[in-house]
Structure 1
Amino acid sequence: MLGRTSLLARNITQTLVRYHSNGGIPGENLPFSINNRYKLTAYFALFFGSGLALPFLIVRHQLTK
Structure 2
Amino acid sequence: MFAPIARISNKLGRNVITTMVRNHSNGGIPGENLPFDISNRYKLTVYFIAFFGSGLAAPYLICRHQLLKK
TMscore range, shorter length? 0.7 to 0.9
CA separation in 2, counterparts of 1:15 and 1:46? 38
CA separation in 1, counterparts of 2:16 and 2:66? 57
RMSD of the alignment, in Å?
1.9
TM superposition score normalised by structure 1: 0.73
Which of 15, 18, 22 does residue 26 from structure 2 map onto? Answer: 22
Identity of aligned residues (%): 70
CA separation in 1, counterparts of 2:43 and 2:18? 38
More helix by share: 2
Deviations for 1:11-64, whole angstroms, at most 9, x for unmatched residues?
A: 444333333223121111111100011111111011000111111111111111
TM superposition score normalised by structure 2: 0.69
**Where does the alignment leave 5 or more consecutive residues of structure 1 unmatched?**
none
**Where does the alignment leave 5 or more consecutive residues of structure 2 unmatched?**
none
Count the aligned residue pairs: 63
